[in-house]
Amino acid sequence: MPQLRIDNQTVHAAQGSTVLEAATSAGIEIPTLCHFQGMPHYTSCMLCVVRETGSGHFLPACSAIVSEGMLIETNSEPVRDARRAALELLLSDHTGDCEGPCQRACPANIDIPRLIRRIQLGDQEGDPAVIACRQCRENSNPPPCERACRRAQHDEAVAIARLLQYAESNLQQSGTHAHAHLPAFNSAMGRIQDAEWPVLMENVNNAPRTKPAAGSETGFTREEAQNEATRCMHCDCRKPASCKLRLYAEEYGAKRARFRTSSRRPFEHDLSHNEIVFEQGKCIACGICTRITERDGNTPGLCLSGRGMETRIGAPLNKSIAKGLADTDSAAACVEACPTGALAWRAKEDTA
């Protein structure tokens, strides 16, 4: 049984085990994105990098096999710098928002896209912070959220103020503020390219803004609110609290712009599945979902295609995500295991 030292702690590891397994057995946490417990390592994200001080080499902890006398450091400045660079490389190819522009512009930080989804689905639960925006709605025309709405770049902004007025009057404002403990790090997609509008508008109501039949003072009826809610493009991420890429980016102080390229990946989303949304631009090609569908015997399942920066996750033969995730249990496992917001529930709440 090899003996090594990890962060000055003596650890006895099973023969053939990895540095990650040895550290975990000793209660030492090493961050990972592409590692999934119980499955072979994939070694793609390089977030789990550690340093073997005897040789000075940096090693991926998820695949490096322990050997006698290793001296491993897991949280030194050189190690943190290497992890930060790994995160920044992933973020340089990331297309999508952590929070929608309407939420970022909202002084009360209301999760506006999620609240709009609740209205659209007929949910009766609101957001307690919506009461705080009343003065903003009344004194700003248009309010900051509508000025930031990306839909305005296409035609007219979503009538967010009227939807928030409806939510305040008709939904139950119970519970606590939904975003008191969200990570501060935020990724923003920026201005929409011309070629991306057809994709963004594919599953969105193209009608003009809804006008309250009874007048502005009365506001929306439930039917009118639901109709206007269908105009929202839902620019936000469905996993703002649990996305590991976002959590680690904040922890390590990653800067998205460090490795900025001349052009970002175009926005894509697959809404063919009734319960799941897939956004290719948020995928880090960790391979976890492909291994899960293979493990579960899900046919056709998901696979990796392309090489290098062109590597993509998808169903074989260019089939939709709905085809690749036809097995309900396997689909659920993929969504829950996805370390980013690439695979997420369309309607279910995100929990950290």
Pair 136, 177 in one domain: yes
Pair 215, 267 in one domain: no
> Do the domain assignments include residue 287?
yes
Pair 116, 187 in one domain: yes
Pair 223, 252 in one domain: no
Each of the 352 residues of the chain gets a pLDDT tens digit; together they read 899 999 999 999 999 999 999 999 999 999 999 999 888 888 899 999 999 999 999 999 999 999 999 999 999 999 999 999 999 999 998 999 999 999 999 998 899 999 999 999 998 888 888 888 888 888 888 999 999 999 999 999 999 999 999 999 999 886 554 454 688 899 988 888 888 899 889 889 999 999 999 887 889 999 999 999 999 999 899 999 999 999 999 999 999 878 776 677 888 889 999 999 999 999 999 999 999 999 999 889 999 998 877 889 999 988 899 999 999 999 999 999 999 999 999 988 887 6
Q: What is the 3-state secondary structure (H, E, C) of the chain?
A: CCEEEECCEEEECCCCCEHHHHHHHCCCCCCCCCCCCCCCCCCCCCCCEEEECCCCEEEECCCCECCCCCEEECCCHHHHHHHHHHHHHHHHCCCCCCCCHHHHHCCCCCCHHHHHHHHHHCCCECCHHHHHHHHHHHHCCCCHHHHHCHHHHCCCCCCHHHHHHHHHHHCECCCCCCCCCCCCCCCCCCCCCHHHHHHHCCCCCCCCCCCCCCCCCCCCCHHHHHHHHCCCCCCCCCCCCCCHHHHHHHHCCCCCCCCCCCCCCCCCCECCCCCEEECHHHCCCCCHHHHHHHHCCCCCCCEEECCHHHCEEECHHHCCHHHHCCCHHHHHHHHHHCCCCCEEECCCCCCC
Pair 70, 161 in one domain: no
Pair 111, 222 in one domain: yes
Pair 261, 314 in one domain: yes
Pair 179, 145 in one domain: yes
Instruction: Tell me how many domains the chain contains.
Output: 3
> What's the CATH code of the domain at 43?
3.10.20.740
Task: Among 196, 229, 262, identify where a domain stops.
Answer: 229
Pair 256, 156 in one domain: no
Task: Among 59, 75, 91, identify where a domain stops.
Answer: 75
> Do the domain assignments include residue 271?
yes
> Do the domain assignments include residue 49?
yes
Pair 111, 53 in one domain: no
Pair 314, 285 in one domain: yes
> Do the domain assignments include residue 96?
no
Task: Among 229, 255, 290, identify where a domain stops.
Answer: 229
Pair 222, 250 in one domain: no
| Domain of residue 12, residue span | 3-75
